[in-house]
């Protein structure tokens, strides 16, 4: 039995649920927005975790869920937890939401079975330069990176590499932008060290690793950040591709090293044939790629969650 | 920071801790007595966050960092031999009065930078940082319990319920407000008819703590706990770990695990000296080797 958790209309989750229905895989959907109406108990006894979930007017033993795909959002950002006009959310209900969310995450971290992904394993993404050190450890190239609060060091770094970009170094999403030496605001970095990277020319390849399966997608776009191609006035085209065997194996190993079973790895193949790895996303929005290419990422994910070999 | 040739004539100890940290204070004091004041540099996380110059580089060639402090000096002369790391929560002072979103962004960015730097500052770090806490692995209690079981420790049973009406707990169970970040708002001190909380089995009053330091447990620790405690510290990837146990008739060792802390408050002089000895050994080995 697979448990899907999150906002069921959110595309990656919706696609996986749809595929489970098509494959006739037994599953249950835990809608995060209905958190007021489900209950959870967790017992940490001498032999391991057990528990019960009250969902859809029935009791489900947690041990019955042998695969879980979780894509929750911050519970405090749920519409149900926001103030309505002048009426604030009942503090008890807010606290209960936080408690249940924390408890569910606790269970995900220690539950046996196929958990995509365990919350504690997703934390390496909280620091991109930290994760980059693990990426390098697996034998990938990673772009020369500088985090500094000194404008002169940025100018020197630009002089050294010709083209450089800047982006957040935490898990907070930012749009990757090319840095221009004429930038009049560069002194602002004195307030907070900022991450700059050498621009790596080449073709973007997004790799989804699901269990043992590697699904690469080539992205043709002239935008600095292909996720925002259209906003940056550029077209985007995605297609199925193949990876060299050693790169494919590195992607598998990197996913395992980070404690993940489903990852979205951002690679770039340079004109010289070198492969750079930028980051590993532990909660990939894979549907964007599947819907453009027809690749069977969701089907593979569901097979993995159902206990099959992928 | 570069090891080896960049080193001076003696090992240098870098202590990263809040100024009010009594454990760090005792350790720094002992190190100064043994090695002289100039061998020990204490910096708070806030000083680091406000450093005049950060230059942290990561590439396929490795990691290299230079941190210049407000007084113009390089942090630990750019060549510490060991870092005693008790870096807690970091809130960049320059963003204290900023909008919430900007302040949160600054906190997360600084956490990301400090984690990356502490993961590889060019010398050993005790405790090594983890993505869940800068001062070393800090798990939620359920995860600590699971790791303790894997390590071979008997654990005190815990139960959590989101509804004491739907999933009632044993009436003898003790409420544990310390386990969750969230507790139900108080209602005039009266128990709610339907509550959410963590509970544990009733435990006795006899408690003990075992401080593992560099893979060693103190000689006076119960013998049956020594190996499981060492294993737990290893599983948590921590050099310093306090493991809390309570007397239990149901446990083969006579003790049951209740919790662990990788950044413990240590006051007992012998325990302080065990930490100092570990730092000295690690620093000396690193200094003699001259390279990471």
- Provide the shortest C-alpha distance from residue A260 to chain B (in Å): 14
Top residue of B53, B56, B58, B169 to mutate, by most chain A CBs within 10 Å, is B58
Nearest CA in chain A to B186: A92
Comparing CA positions, the residue from A228, A283, A233, A290 lying closest to residue A260 is A283
The model carries a pTM of: 0.93
pLDDT at residue A239, as a whole number? 94
For residue range B199-238, what is the model confidence (pLDDT) as tens digits? 998 888 899 999 999 999 999 899 999 999 999 999 999 9
* Average confidence score pLDDT of chain A: 93
Mean pLDDT of the region A297-302 = 98
Mean pLDDT of the region A126-153 = 96
A39:B59 CB<8 A: no
pLDDT at B292 over 70: no
A172:B185 CB<8 A: no
Strand (E) or helix (H) holding A115: strand A114-116
Return the half-sphere exposure (C-beta side, CA atoms, 13 A cut-off) of residue B156: 24
pLDDT at residue B185, as a whole number? 65
Cα separation of B25 and B4, whole Å? 28
Which residues, 6 or more positions from A1, have their beta carbon under 8 angstroms from its beta carbon?
A26, A27, A28, A64, A65, A66, A67
Residues of B in contact with A130 (CB under 8 A): 112, 115-116, 119, 131
A142:B60 CB<8 A: yes
Mean pLDDT of the region A147-157 = 97
A148:B55 CB<8 A: yes
Residues of B in contact with A128 (CB under 8 A): 112
Peptide bond into B127 cis (omega under 30): yes
B53:A150 CB<8 A: yes
Cα separation of B229 and B226, whole Å? 5
B58:A124 CB<8 A: no
pLDDT at B281 over 90: yes
Cα separation of B292 and B288, whole Å? 11
pLDDT at residue B4, as a whole number? 38
Measured between alpha carbons, how far apart are the two ends of chain B, in Å?
A: 11
For residue range A185-209, what is the model confidence (pLDDT) as tens digits? 999 999 999 999 999 999 999 999 9
- Residue B253, both tokens: 């060792």
Q: What domains appear along chain A, each with residue ranges and CATH number?
A: 2-116 (3.40.50), 123-140+200-305 (3.30.470.20), 145-198 (3.30.1490)
Report whether B195 contacts B175 (CB < 8 A): no
Cα separation of A190 and A195, whole Å? 12
pLDDT at A222 over 80: no
* Average confidence score pLDDT of chain B: 90
The proportion of chain A whose per-residue pLDDT surpasses 70, expressed as a percent, equals 98
Q: Which range is least confidently modeled, A162-166, B56-60, B249-253?
A: B249-253
Q: What is the DSSP secondary structure assignment for residue A76, as one 8-state letter? A: G
Cα separation of B12 and B132, whole Å? 28
Cα separation of A297 and A251, whole Å? 16
Strand (E) or helix (H) holding A91: helix A91-110
Residues in chain B: 292
For residue range A277-286, what is the model confidence (pLDDT) as tens digits? 999 999 999 9
Comparing CA positions, the residue from B132, B75, B174 lying closest to residue B262 is B132
Comparing CA positions, the residue from B165, B120, B122 lying closest to residue B2 is B122
Mean pLDDT of the region A101-127 = 95
For residue range B50-83, what is the model confidence (pLDDT) as tens digits? 999 999 999 999 999 999 998 899 997 778 999 9
B180:A99 CB<8 A: yes
Strand partners, A67: A2, A114
Mean pLDDT of the region A40-54 = 92
Which residues, 6 or more positions from A74, have their beta carbon under 8 angstroms from its beta carbon?
none
Strand (E) or helix (H) holding A21: helix A11-22
Q: Report ipTM for this prediction.
A: 0.92
pLDDT at B8 over 60: no
Mean pLDDT of the region A98-123 = 95
Which residues, 6 or more positions from A87, have their beta carbon under 8 angstroms from its beta carbon?
none
Top residue of A61, A89, A106, A260 to mutate, by most chain B CBs within 10 Å, is A106
- Which residue among B92, B105, B116 places its CB closest to the CB of A130? B116
pLDDT at residue A185, as a whole number? 92
Mean pLDDT of the region A109-113 = 95
pLDDT at B5 over 80: no
């Amino acid at each position: 039995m697979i448990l899907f958790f999150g906002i069921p209309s959110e595309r990656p989750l919706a696609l996986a649920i749809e595929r489970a229905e098509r494959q006739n895989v037994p599953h249950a959907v835990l809608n995060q927005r209905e958190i007021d109406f489900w209950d959870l108990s967790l017992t940490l006894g001498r032999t391991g975790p057990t528990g019960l979930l009250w969902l859809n007017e029935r009791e489900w033993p947690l041990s019955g869920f042998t695969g879980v795909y979780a894509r929750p959002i911050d519970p405090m950002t749920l519409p149900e937890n926001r103030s309505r006009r002048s009426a604030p959310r009942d503090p008890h209900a807010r606290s209960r939401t936080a408690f249940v969310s924390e408890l569910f995450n606790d269970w995900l971290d220690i539950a046996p079975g196929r958990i995509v992904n365990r919350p504690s394993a997703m934390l390496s993404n909280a620091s991109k330069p930290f994760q980059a050190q693990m990426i390098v450890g697996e034998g990938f190239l990673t772009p020369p990176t500088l985090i500094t609060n000194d404008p002169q060091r940025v100018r020197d770094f630009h002089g050294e590499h010709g083209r450089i970009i800047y982006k957040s170094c935490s898990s907070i999403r930012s749009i990757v932008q090319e840095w221009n030496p004429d930038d009049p605001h560069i002194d602002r970095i004195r307030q907070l060290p900022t991450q700059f990277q050498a621009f790596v020319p080449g073709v973007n390849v997004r790799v989804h690793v699901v269990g043992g399966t590697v699904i690469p997608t080539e992205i043709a776009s002239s935008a600095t950040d292909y996720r925002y191609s259209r906003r940056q006035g550029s077209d985007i085209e995605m297609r199925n591709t193949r990876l060299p065997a050693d790169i494919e194996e590195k992607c598998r190993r990197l996913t395992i090293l980070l404690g993940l079973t489903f990852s979205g790895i951002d690679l770039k193949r340079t004109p010289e044939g070198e492969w750079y790895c930028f980051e590993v996303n532990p909660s990939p929005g894979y549907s964007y790629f599947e819907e453009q290419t027809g690749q069977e990422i969701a089907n593979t994910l569901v097979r993995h969650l159902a206990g099959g070999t992928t | 920071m570069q090891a080896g040739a960049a080193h001076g004539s003696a090992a240098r100890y870098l202590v990263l801790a809040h100024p009010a940290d009594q454990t760090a204070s005792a350790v720094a004091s002992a190190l100064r007595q043994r090695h002289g004041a100039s061998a020990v540099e204490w910096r708070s996380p806030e000083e680091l966050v406000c450093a005049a110059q950060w230059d942290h580089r990561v590439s396929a060639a490795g990691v290299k960092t230079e941190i210049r402090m407000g007084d113009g000096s390089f942090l630990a002369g750019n060549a510490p031999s060991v870092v005693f790391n008790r870096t807690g929560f970091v809130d960049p002072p320059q963003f204290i009065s900023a909008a919430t979103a900007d302040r949160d962004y600054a906190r997360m960015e600084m956490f990301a930078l400090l984690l990356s730097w502490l993961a590889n500052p060019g010398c050993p770090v005790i405790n090594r940082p983890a993505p869940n806490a800068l001062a070393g692995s800090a798990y939620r209690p359920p995860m600590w319990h699971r790791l303790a079981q894997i390590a071979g420790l008997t654990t005190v049973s815990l139960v959590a319920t989101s509804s004491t009406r739907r999933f009632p707990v044993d009436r003898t169970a003790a409420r544990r407000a310390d386990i969750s970040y969230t507790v139900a708002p108080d209602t005039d001190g009266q128990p709610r008819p339907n509550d959410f909380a963590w509970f544990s089995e009733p435990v006795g009053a006899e408690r003990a703590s075992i401080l593992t330091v560099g893979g060693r447990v103190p000689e006076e620790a119960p013998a049956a706990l020594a190996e499981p405690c060492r294993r737990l510290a290893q599983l948590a990837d921590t050099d310093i770990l306090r493991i809390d146990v309570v007397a239990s008739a149901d446990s083969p060792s006579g003790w049951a695990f209740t919790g662990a802390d990788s950044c413990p408050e240590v006051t007992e002089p012998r325990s302080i000296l065990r930490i100092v000895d570990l730092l000295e050994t690690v620093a000396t080995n690193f200094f003699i080797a001259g390279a990471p």
